A = this chain, B = another copy of it.
Amino acid sequence: MAETMADRKKAILRAVTDDYISTAEPVGSRTIARKYGLGVSSATIRNEMADLEDEGYLEQPHVSAGRIPSDKGYRFYVDALMPERALTGLEEKKIRAECVKRSDEIQSLIRATARVLGELSNCASIVIGPGVKTAEIRHIQLVPLSADSVLVLVVTNAGLVEHRVLAIDHEMDPRDLENMSRMLNHRLRGSSLAQMRGRVLGEILADLNAYASFLEEMFDLLLSATRSSDQNRVYVDGLMRLLGQPEFNELERARPILEFLESDDLVLTELAGTASRGPGGAYATIGSENQRQELRECSVVCAPYGVGGQVVGTIAVVGPTRIDYSLAMSLVGYMAESLSDLLTRTQSAK
């Protein structure tokens, strides 16, 4: 139905949205007539705007103020009106410079991604790092640390290195550990920690039953590790930038959003859903489209990234519904792609 909108109406909706995105002020018919040469007078635009309001694309904060886009208006803008924006050379350069240089270590990479994304979008940014629970195991190894402790090392296909120290009762021969490492590697490579327990534990125990209790303990440790490390996957940056936005000048409006963003758990579960949309492309969730009450006055632009086609994390930008969708979607899309590239490349290089 929206597609049947007359061209002039679309032009006006686009103008209103563009203007409001950049000024944060309700925009009146006169402004449109002056700044965006549509060749018609303000009165005509007024009439069209009244129609657009009836149809739910625009709304009026007060009767004598200009119009601002409604969530429905933004949705239409994003789907049909928004200018395709390519990143500038400067932006791409900045992204490359910051991200590639940090790619030696995945934590730094993720952190840098969040930082750069926040900076360029001038909004708050979220990056969910790769998790260890469902990731494919690329390497698993036991490293003897001392007489009574062993370091359990797991490297996933996303390049994430997870480790735990396991205390042991009685000294173990390094040779045995070596053997066990080989065995574990052989059995577990390619599967995930999540499925490890059920599927392979039995077989391994059968093969190595001399060390059954040790292995049991080790698996337990790893499983509890996956649980606790999930909270460490969330990186948020640029919270303060939200406060700079005019719509959040009154603290009380910003408070719930900021509190939400400060809680890693909530952010994680909220963005977990996006993984299911599969990699490639950026998605916008506009205002009331958000499930969570706290985000009803925000828009979230996010894109999953992954390794070799499998989604391992998500990056996102959070701003007022007036967020610059064009910029945000380009940025998020590009950075998700970069991340995927980087991770996939490091992984295949091995």
Contact = CB atoms under 8 A, between A and B. Distances in A.
Interface of A: 102, 104-105, 107-108, 111, 138-139, 141, 143, 145-146, 148-149, 151, 153, 155, 159, 161, 163-165, 167, 221, 224-225, 228-229, 231-232, 237-240, 243, 249, 251, 255, 258-259, 262, 346, 349-350
A307 to B, nearest CB: 15
A231 to B, nearest CB: 7
Contacts of A107: 229, 232
A221 to B, nearest CB: 7
B161 A155 contact: no
23 contacts: A102-B228, A104-B164, A104-B165, A104-B221, A105-B228, A107-B232, A108-B229, A139-B145, A139-B146, A141-B143, A143-B143, A143-B153, A145-B155, A148-B350, A149-B350, A151-B153, A151-B155, A153-B153, A237-B262, A239-B239, A243-B251, A243-B255, A251-B251
B243 A258 contact: yes
Contacts of A145: 138-139, 155, 350
A258 B124 CA distance: 14
Q: How many copies does the complex hold?
A: 2
Contacts of A141: 143
Contacts of A350: 145-146, 148-149, 165
Contacts of A149: 349-350
Contacts of A237: 262
Contacts of A102: 228
Given A153-B143, A251-B251, A349-B149, A108 B232 contact: yes
Contacts of A165: 104, 159, 346, 350
